[in-house]
Amino acid sequence: MSERPAGRRGAIRAIGLLSGGLDSTLAAKVLLEQGIEVVGLHYSTGFCMNDHRRAMARPDEDPKRMRNEGLRAGADLGIPIEILDAGEAYMKMVLSPKHGYGKRANPCIDCRIFMIHGAAEYMREHRGHFVFTGEVLGQRPMSQHMQALRLIEKECGIEGYLLRPLSARHLPPTIPEQVGWVDREGLLGISGRSRKEQMTWSEKWNIGDYPQPAGGCCYLADETFARRFHDKRLHTDPDRIRREDMILLKVGRHFRLDPAVKIIVARDESENQFLQRFDPPGWRFEALGCGSPITVVEGEPDENLKMLIASITARYSDRRGQPLVEVAARRDGREEVLLVPPVADRVLEAYRI
């Protein structure tokens, strides 16, 4: 941490995690109001829903649901934003979090430790003075109670230099407050799950353009994605799971046919095009002569499973009402044509993840 004499807040640089949500935006604004220089860090983890919406590029998608909220917030606040790639180290943490998962597949405590640790490294490399976040005491049950906040700070290795401007009045004074870099009287005392105080401050500072809270952009907190994620962990050697595997968990309908074989059935033309661009290895099924989803296969199906996969593909094709449908199974330049009945819904549901 760089040293500056007390009382010179204009020379102080704060490094903050800026998701673009209301809490992190307000935290940055609190410090800007004190004349502190603020640099925002925004992590690209591979699990942001907005990133996937941009990749899908559906023509009817609301542009606001595709933007990078960190860059948008930085522009609104007039502060620089650094985009950091979380990389394979983040994936390793997600697959085996030291402090476990929340309700879904969200490793909230380990995620905070990962990001704040990275922010601390950035602070040291760029002559920052302290790190700040938009965390609110008591807002989230897993990662924002008092014990968790202390644990996160300790494991990040920056005890005393992690400021939480929104809840600072409920927390012990940090070193930036003690030495006069930050005026504690100008910090807030928000706590709990109600967001009324945040809304009041947002109105005061004319901050109105922000996404909805409660992990709304994180796939790891999504119920459907979490089921697919845990299925992947259960049936795949963790050392063989890569970030690319996580991309496919966001697309289509997923069915586990046996412990070694899973299929993904596209839901619309945008997902068909996405799967064609992504081009995962293995078998690909498609009904012939009609509108059809692309079905991609993970694993090596035997002949019986090929017939089942073809039947599932037929079920979601435009010929689902026909007694028999021709379905092409393609791999490595060769093609087999299977004549199958569309699978019954009661059979289908037994395989759905």
pTM equals 0.91
What amino acid is encoded at 337 in this protein? V
Strand partners, 38: 14
- Render 126-182 in DSSP notation, one character per residue: TT--EEE----BTSSTTTSSHHHHHHHHHHHT-TT-EE-TTTGGGSPPPHHHHTTSS
Q: Which helix (H) or strand (E) holds 92?
A: helix 87-95
Looking at the fold, whether 99 and 13 belong to one and the same domain comes out as yes
Looking at the fold, whether 205 and 256 belong to one and the same domain comes out as no
Q: Which domain holds residue 112?
A: 9-218
Per-residue pLDDT of the chain (353 residues; tens, 9 = 90+): 655 444 445 589 999 999 999 999 999 999 999 999 999 999 999 999 988 888 787 767 666 667 889 999 999 999 999 999 999 999 999 999 999 999 999 999 999 999 999 999 999 999 999 999 999 999 887 888 999 999 999 999 999 999 999 999 999 999 999 999 999 999 999 999 898 999 999 999 999 888 765 456 899 999 999 999 999 999 999 999 998 899 999 999 999 999 999 999 999 999 999 999 888 899 999 999 999 999 999 999 999 999 999 999 999 999 999 999 999 999 999 999 999 999 999 999 999 99
Q: Per the domain annotation, does 353 fall within a domain? A: no
The total domain count for the chain is 2
Looking at the fold, whether 146 and 267 belong to one and the same domain comes out as no
Looking at the fold, whether 278 and 193 belong to one and the same domain comes out as no
Which of 218, 238, 273 finishes a domain? 218
